[in-house]
Amino acid sequence: MELKQGRPESGAGREDKEMRVYDLLDRLGLEYMRVDHAPATTMEVCREIDRVLEATICKNLFLCNRQQTEFFLLMMPGDKPFKTRELGAQIGSSRLSFAGAEHMERLLDISPGSVSVMGLMNDCEGRVRLLVDEDVLRGEYLGCHPCVNTSSLRLRTRDVLELFLPAVGHGYEPVRLSGEERE
């Protein structure tokens, strides 16, 4: 794995949705580093990518309410445990679960294993609420996939929040996740 600045020299062998991410980031004037790798399917693989990127790749969870009418993208540190009750209490949704692949593909144009904040560029109707753990907000950089899990990007957290999100018509809601069960 080798860290490279910006987009790949060629789009050959890359998916259109990945190239659209680079097009948008370049159009916005955002600086980013990229590493190409085998499919990142486990947190262990992501830890090796983190080491090369020198940024923590966020654990991105695509969630929905019981009725599957509200959808949430949660960005949190990869090493923090996720407790649905803790998050549900903060956002006013008592029965959260993982949203199915069909919703992920329809709303974000992302396949399971590739969930990323970059997918919000495909949510033109604003159906997905972005929730960001406060520990992610404190970091200078964040790591994410460009809508595929065979590349990873390092971007300034501030650039994602202040430039990328407004450009794709999204805001974010800070959440505070302890990862611990409450009595």
Q: How confident is the model at residue 183 (pLDDT cuts 50, 70, 90)?
A: very low
Vertex 106 angle, CA 81 and 110, to 5°? 50
DSSP-based three-state secondary structure for 73: strand
Instruction: Inform me whether the pLDDT recorded for 72 exceeds 90.
Output: yes
Return the amino acid letter for 166.
Answer: P
Q: How confident is the model at residue 179 (pLDDT cuts 50, 70, 90)?
A: low
Q: How far is 47 from 44, CA to CA, in rounded Å?
A: 5
Closest CA to 1 of 43, 33, 41: 33
Please provide residue 161's backbone torsions phi and psi, each rounded to the nearest 5 degrees: -70, -40
DSSP-based three-state secondary structure for 126: coil
- Residue 160: count other Cβ atoms within 10 Å of its Cβ: 25
Higher pLDDT, 23 or 1: 23
Vertex 118 angle, CA 114 and 123, to 5°? 100
Tokens of 97: 């679960």
- Residue ranges of the alpha helices (H) in 14-169? 16-28, 43-53, 84-91, 101-108, 134-138, 157-159, 165-167
pLDDT tens digits, residue range 100-148? 999 999 999 999 889 999 999 999 999 999 999 999 999 999 999 999 9
Return the amino acid letter for 122.
Answer: N
Question: What is the fold, at CATH topology level, of the domain defined by 3-171?
Answer: YbaK protein (3.90.960)
Which residues neighbour 10 within 8 Å (Cβ) at sequence distance 6 or greater?
none
Strands (E), 37-91: 58-64, 71-77
Higher pLDDT, 78 or 177: 177
Q: How far is 69 from 55, CA to CA, in rounded Å?
A: 33
The whole-number pLDDT of residue 180 equals 59
Instruction: Inform me whether the pLDDT recorded for 69 exceeds 80.
Output: yes
